[in-house]
Amino acid sequence: MHGSPDLSGGRMPQHVAIIMDGNGRWAKTRGLPRTAGHRKGVEAVRNIVKAAGDIGIRYLTLFSFSSENWQRPADEVGDLMQLLRFYLRGEIATLHKNGVRIRVIGDRSRLAPDIISLIENAESLTSGNTVLTLVIALSYGARQEIAVAARRLAEAAVKGLVDPAQIDEAMLSGALFTADIPDPDLLIRTSGEKRISNFLLWQIAYAEFVFVDTLWPDFTRRDLEDAIQEFCRRERRFGASVGTR
């Protein structure tokens, strides 16, 4: 059954996170190089960002490149970085016009200087936008993020700025890249793989997971709406004995 998800009942996910997987397989089944899959994947990104804004999702996090993806062949990494440049240069104006605020999370120190500038410009240009926050996870690994947060808190403690006895969940959350972003309600992974691959480990404690077989380049607005409808059918309990939403 299709149709627009129910926007009325307070059941819409506020934050949807997506592990965009399957670009390589999409290309392989067509006898094309992996790059062709990544290029097609960027088109899907464009469509899904637009759809998310239209549907009324407030935060969309896209896993674009993991810390571990640096281990891929240099050619492929180069192609992915080139596509990122292309996306940031080509889409910023449209995203800004559509009220999208851009945030990039991950280890920037490994990125090329021109990409860092593009990211900084995109973030500052769009910082006042309120329709949709697009969080791009780039050179991102959740374990690294948590380790960095722990290090920051330890440094603050050594300086006497934080009392170790006061370190709690909220303080650790506040030391993550996602400090001011609510936790994802819905996590979608495409391509049939059923694993997390070091994505948002802390933040997905109570997310609902939807795994779909569709390869990312084939993922459409309708697939997003289906996943949201599946989310709306779930009963979230957060450890309590009755649904709390």
Minimum CB–partner distance for residue 28 and ligand IPE (Å): 7
69 is catalytic: yes
Strand duo 132-140 + 59-66: pairing: parallel
Query: 42 by DSSP, 3-state: which?
Result: helix
Question: For residues 142 and 19, is the Cβ–Cβ distance under 8 A?
Answer: no
Region at 139 (left for phi over 0; alpha for psi -120 to 50; beta for the rest): left
Using CB distances below 5 to 8 A depending on partner kind, what does residue 85 bind out of Mg ion, ligand IPE, none? Answer: none
223 is catalytic: no
Task: 108-116: list long-range contacts, CB under 8 Å, 24+ apart.
Answer: 108/139, 110/70, 110/139, 111/81, 111/138, 111/139, 112/81, 114/85, 115/81, 115/84, 115/85, 115/88
The contact set with Mg ion (CB under 5 A) reads 21
Using CB distances below 5 to 8 A depending on partner kind, what does residue 19 bind out of ligand IPE, Mg ion, none? Answer: ligand IPE
Minimum CB–partner distance for residue 222 and ligand IPE (Å): 20
Cβ atoms within 10 Å, residue 148:
15
Region at 210 (left for phi over 0; alpha for psi -120 to 50; beta for the rest): beta
Using the minimum distance from each CB to ligand IPE, give the nearer residue, 19 or 207.
19
Using the minimum distance from each CB to ligand IPE, give the nearer residue, 175 or 203.
203
Question: For residues 140 and 105, is the Cβ–Cβ distance under 8 A?
Answer: yes
Using the minimum distance from each CB to ligand IPE, give the nearer residue, 87 or 216.
216
Q: Which two tokens stand for residue 160?
A: 């006497």
Question: Which residue has its beta carbon closest to Mg ion?
Answer: 21
Using the minimum distance from each CB to Mg ion, give the nearer residue, 180 or 213.
213
The contact set with ligand IPE (CB under 6 A) reads 19-25, 63-66, 69, 80, 191, 193, 195, 197, 216
Minimum CB–partner distance for residue 34 and ligand IPE (Å): 6
List Cβ neighbours of 113 (8 Å cut-off, separation of 6 or more): none
Using the minimum distance from each CB to Mg ion, give the nearer residue, 192 or 243.
192
Which of 6, 47, 54, 69 is flagged as catalytic? 69
Using CB distances below 5 to 8 A depending on partner kind, what does residue 177 bind out of Mg ion, ligand IPE, none? Answer: none
Using CB distances below 5 to 8 A depending on partner kind, what does residue 140 bind out of ligand IPE, Mg ion, none? Answer: none
Which residues are known catalytic residues?
21, 69
